[in-house]
Amino acid sequence: MGGAHGDGLLVAADSPVHSLPAQCKVVALLVGVAGVVATPPRQWWAFVVYAVLVGAVVAVARVPVPTVVRRSVVEAPFVVFALLLPFIATGPRTEVLGLSLSESGLLGAWNLLAKATLGVVAAIVLAATTTPRDLLGGLDRLRMPRLLVAILGFMIRYAGVVAGDLQRMRVARESRAFRGGHLRHLRVEAAGVGSLFVRSYERGERVHQAMVARGFTGRMPALATAGASGRQWLVAGALPAVAVAVALSAWVVA
């Protein structure tokens, strides 16, 4: 998770994308991705336009390309599935490099890969240009239920603490000459996971006590965030507007 010194996944820079309010970026991301997903897969040109758009945003946001590539690894399971599709799908088959592949499988693989990649890269840009705190504030502004915002906030806050607990337990185990990785060590690992759960549960109780001691009555206070101006909505809306327009014209052409 974020580590001790990074602020979530933020790549600190001073760019127009960074300075947009989080709520605008979240809406832009959702609408843009919806446009991409709705595009018929045979309209290749539309995906070229999308790729150029997303590439432009990456450049404007000054997110280093190696960072984008590294973080795209989260897409790996989808890539594996997409690569399998041409082999396991049924229907008419075609020869590619001496392999017999399913036509619908190929199309499905392309569809999955292109759309997933565009979505993942767009999400990476959002995460790299927005601090976790602003993101929470933006979601709050978008009327996301405050309880869910609070749960997300606690997750961000305590992921590092729990990871630290886990790390200390591992160090303590290994300091007593324990070497994991073997199946028969599963018992020890399982006990570790169990005690981590109990510790986290107890920490939850203590956090709740500390909240109650400061007058918590079951309602989280709003995070103070600035509203977005009309101009900012326009700037953020430009890209998804183009994406939706492209998607619509792709349908018309198809």
Partner 1 sequence: MSAPSIEVRGLAFAYPDGRQALYGVDLHIHRGERVALLGPNGAGKTTLVLHLNGILGTVAGGAGTGSVAVGGLALTAENLVEVRRRVGLVFQDPDDQLFMPTVADDVAFGPSNLGVSGADLDRRVHAALSAVGMVDAADRPPHHLSFGQRRRVAVATVLVMEPEILVLDEPSSNLDPASRRELADILTGLDTTLMMVTHDLPYALQLCPRAVLLDEGRVVADGATRDLLADADLMAAHRLELPYGFDPMSVPGAR
Binding-site ranges for partner 1 (CB under 8 A): 4-5, 7, 132-133, 136, 153-154, 156-158, 160-161, 203, 206-207, 209-217, 219, 221-224
3-state secondary structure of 94: strand
Among candidate residues 107, 93, 131, the one with its CA nearest the CA of residue 13: 131
Among positive and negative, which fits the CA dihedral 117, 123, 124, 129? Answer: positive
CA distance 254 to 252: 5
CB of 216 to partner 1, least distance (A): 6
CA distance 21 to 251: 32
Strands 93-96 vs 99-102: parallel, antiparallel or unpaired: antiparallel
Phi-psi domain of 8 (left: phi exceeds 0; alpha: psi -120 through 50; beta: other)? left
DSSP 6-74: S-TT------HHHHS-HHHHHHHHHHHHHHHHHS-TT-HHHHHHHHHHHHHHHHHTT--HHHHHHHGGG
Judged on CB neighbours under 10 Å (0-12, 13-18, 19+), 66 is exposed
CB of 157 to partner 1, least distance (A): 5
